[in-house]
Amino acid sequence: MAKSVREAVRAKWASVEYGELAKTTGGKSDEVKVVVDLTSEGDEEEIIESESEVKEIWPFKLLRSELYEEKWTGDQEHVLDMQDLLGDESLETVYLFSYQFEMDWVLGMIGKDVEVVVIAQEGTIIPASRHTGHRVRYNTVQMPKFCSHHSKMIIGLFRNKSCSIAIPSNNLTEMESSMPQQIVWISPRLPFGPRSTRSAFQSELIRYLERYPSPNRELIAKLRNIDFKPLESTGAVFVFCAPGGDANDKSGLALLIDYIDDTHNSENEAKQHRHYFCQSSSIGGPLRCQSSDGPRNIFTNLMVPMFAGILSALPRNARACPGVNVVQLLQDNRVHPHIMYPTVQELAECSPGWLAGGWFHFHHGKGGVAAQQYEFLRDNGYFIKQKEYKSRPGANVPIPVMKRDKVPCHTKFYMMFKSANPDNWKNDDCSWALFTTSNLSGHAWGSPPSYRPKNYECGVLYRSSSTTKIDVTCSKDVAYSYFPTQSLVTNARNYSMIIKVMTPYWLPAVKYSTSDEAFCISSNYAKLDVNGTSLKSLALNA
C-alpha cells in the first residue's frame, strides 16, 4: 500500500514542469521559474561585503528526495543525496549507526570493495535479499523493552587515512529517507595525524563509543589517529546520550546542561526575552510522578527551567520539578518555550498525505496523563507549526518548495534565541543550536532521579560567542538557487565566523490556532488526505 501511495504522489507531480505555472487557490496562476528570489518574504536586505574576512560554515545539507527533487537540476551546494555519503569511490571502511537498516537499499549505494560495519539494535535490520559481494560485519546491541539504539551516524575512513563524520536525521531505510523532510550534518574532511592533545569533539565521540557493551576498539584506535582540528575550529561539540554512566561520566540532559549557560551577564540582557525552541518527531509521556499539580513535560517543566537558570540544579525527583506554576515562573523570567510538532491538518494536506505520518509519535489520544500533558501544552500556547508557503503573483518559486509545503520534518533541533520581543526573534540572534537524534522524551535525555538515558543518541551543538555568530536559515531559501550562496553580513562585522544552521522550515514559526490539533498516529481520523487516502486504510495495509 505504501508503495502505491508513493507512486500516486509522484504521478500527481509528474506532469508539472519547472517552467509551468503554479496554480493558486483562486484558479489563477502565477509564473514559476527555476530560479528562486534570494530575498526573503520580509524586507529586502542589502548584500554588503565585510570589511574584514568573515568565515561562513555550512555544516548542514538538505537530504534529497525523489518525491520532492525528482526533476530538480539546480545547484547542489545545499542538497545532498545518500549516495553522496555512501558512494564515495575513495571510501575504504564505513561504520553505520542507525535504528533501522534496509540492507538492500544501503548496500546498493556502497562500492563492493568497501568494508561495511553495521552498529545496530537487535531486530532492527532487514537483511539483504541476495548475496551482494560486500564485506559486512554486524555489531548488534541488545536493548531492554522500549529502549532504542536511536543514534544515526556515518563514520567514513578513506584510503588516504582521512575521515569524515555525518549525522543524518533519517534512519537507513529508503522510505524514511524520502518521505518526511530530513537534514544531514557533515564534518569537514579530517586528515590523518594524531595530535599531542586530543580535541574535545574527539574525546566525547570516543567516550560515546566506549559506552557500548562491546566497544569497537578498532574504530576507536583509528579515530585516535585522526586530526580533529578542522572540526574543532568550528566550535562544534559532540553531545551524546547513552545508558549507564555516573556523575563523572555524564550523558544526555546532565551533559548538555554543562555546555549551556543562559544566565544573564548584564542588566540589559535581563530585559531580553529568551525563546527556547524544540522541534521533535516524537513527544514522550510526562515525567513520572504522583501529583495533583498537573503533568510535568520534560521540555517545559525541566529542560527549559534548567537552561534558563530558573532551577539551580537538577531536581532530585520528578515531583521536585515545577508543576503548573511553571507557567508563571517562565513568564516572570521572560522565558518562552516553543514546541514544533505537526498538526492533523498539515499531515492531511501535505503532498504525501497520511503516509508521511508514520514517523511521528505523540500518543495524546489515548487519554490519561498523556492527554493531560497535551492539554497543558496546548492551552498555554506552547505548540507551533510550520509556516506555509504562500503563492504570490510574480514569485519565483521552484516546484520542490511547493511539494515540501507542510511535509513534517523528522529532524530534531533544540535552540535558544534572545529577543526584545516576547512574540518573535531574529534568526541571527541564536545563542546556541543543537542538532540531535534525541526526541523529546525521558528515554532519550534521561529523567529524574537518575538522569541516565535509556537510548543511544548523538548530536552536534554550536554556541555563539564574541567571535562566532549562529545564523539559522531555511533550506527553502538557499537549496534551490542556481547562484552560489551570497552572504548577508550586515550584522556580522564583529565576528570572525558565522555558523549557518539550516532547518527544513522557516523560523520563527506559527502558533497553533484554536482549531489545530497535534497529530496522533494512534487516533483514527475520518478525513481523507490530499491523495484521497484514509489513515485507517494505511494502517490496515501497513
pLDDT digits (tens, 9 = 90+) for 56-86: 999 999 999 999 988 777 667 899 999 999 9
What burial class does residue 348 get, using C-beta atoms within 10 Å of its C-beta: 0-12 exposed, 13-18 middle, 19+ buried? Answer: buried
Give the model's pLDDT for residue 246: 83
Of 183, 211, 241, the domain-final residue: 241
Among 263-267, 420-424, 458-462, name the most confident range. Answer: 458-462
Give the model's pLDDT for residue 271: 84
3-state SS class at 160: coil
pLDDT in tens, 99-123: 999 999 999 999 999 999 999 999 9
pLDDT at 5 over 70: no
Q: Which residues pair with 415 in a beta bridge?
A: 277, 433
Mean pLDDT of the chain: 87
DSSP labels, 204-245: HHHHHHTTSSS--HHHHHHHHTB--HHHHTTT-EEEEE-S--
Question: Under a CB-based contact definition with an 8 Å cutoff, are residues 79 and 479 in contact?
Answer: yes
The proportion of the chain whose per-residue pLDDT surpasses 90, expressed as a percent, equals 74
pLDDT at 18 over 60: no
Among 43-47, 182-186, 389-393, name the most confident range. Answer: 182-186
131 is catalytic: no
Give the model's pLDDT for residue 128: 96
Residue 511 lies in a domain: yes
Give the model's pLDDT for residue 288: 84
Q: Do 279 and 219 sit in the same domain of this protein?
A: no
Q: Do 274 and 196 sit in the same domain of this protein?
A: no
pLDDT at 208 over 80: yes
Q: Do 273 and 137 sit in the same domain of this protein?
A: no
Q: Report how far residue 193's alpha carbon sits from residue 387's, in angstroms, rounded to the nearest whole number.
A: 46
Q: Which residues pair with 172 in a beta bridge?
A: 101
Q: Do 372 and 515 sit in the same domain of this protein?
A: yes
Residue 15 lies in a domain: no
Q: Do 273 and 393 sit in the same domain of this protein?
A: yes
Residue 16 lies in a domain: no
Annotated active-site residue in 336, 338, 364, 410: 410
Among 38-42, 195-199, 236-240, 362-366, name the most confident range. Answer: 236-240
Give the model's pLDDT for residue 452: 96
Q: Do 124 and 96 sit in the same domain of this protein?
A: yes
- The dihedral region occupied by 235, where left means phi > 0, alpha psi between -120 and 50, and beta the remainder, is left
Give the model's pLDDT for residue 27: 37
Does the annotation list 412 as a binding residue? yes
pLDDT at 247 over 50: yes
Lowest mean pLDDT: which of 44-58, 131-145, 250-264? 44-58
Annotated active-site residue in 78, 150, 275, 363: 150
Q: Report how far residue 18's alpha carbon sits from residue 71's, in angstroms, rounded to the nearest whole number.
A: 8
pLDDT at 182 over 80: yes
Q: Do 339 and 217 sit in the same domain of this protein?
A: no
The proportion of the chain whose per-residue pLDDT surpasses 70, expressed as a percent, equals 84
Lowest mean pLDDT: which of 1-15, 19-33, 284-298? 19-33
Give 479-526 as a 3 state SS string.
CCCCCCCCCCCCCCCCCCEEEEEEECCCCCCEECCCCCCECCCCCCCC
Q: Do 190 and 328 sit in the same domain of this protein?
A: no
Give the model's pLDDT for residue 24: 34
Of 183, 218, 241, the domain-final residue: 241
C-alpha radius of gyration, the chain, whole number: 23
Mean pLDDT of 333-360: 97
Residue 1 lies in a domain: no
Residue 6 lies in a domain: no
pLDDT in tens, 25-46: 333 333 333 333 333 333 333 3
pLDDT at 157 over 60: yes
Residue 49 lies in a domain: no
Give the model's pLDDT for residue 294: 82
pLDDT at 248 over 50: yes
Residue 14 lies in a domain: no
pLDDT at 265 over 70: no
Of 241, 264, 295, the domain-final residue: 241
Does the annotation list 152 as a binding residue? yes
Give the model's pLDDT for residue 289: 77
Mean pLDDT of 309-331: 95
Q: Do 276 and 196 sit in the same domain of this protein?
A: no
- Residue range of the domain that includes 195: 55-241
Give the model's pLDDT for residue 9: 55
Question: Under a CB-based contact definition with an 8 Å cutoff, are residues 12 and 22 in contact?
Answer: no
CATH classification of the domain holding 405: 3.30.870.10
Residue 12 lies in a domain: no
Q: For helices 200-209 and 217-224, what crossing angle results, to 10°?
A: 170
Q: Do 237 and 254 sit in the same domain of this protein?
A: no
Number of domains in the chain: 2
pLDDT at 471 over 80: yes
Helix (H) or strand (E) holding 61: strand 60-63
363 is catalytic: no
Q: Do 237 and 325 sit in the same domain of this protein?
A: no
Cell numbers standing for residue 83: 549516495
Q: Do 273 and 186 sit in the same domain of this protein?
A: no
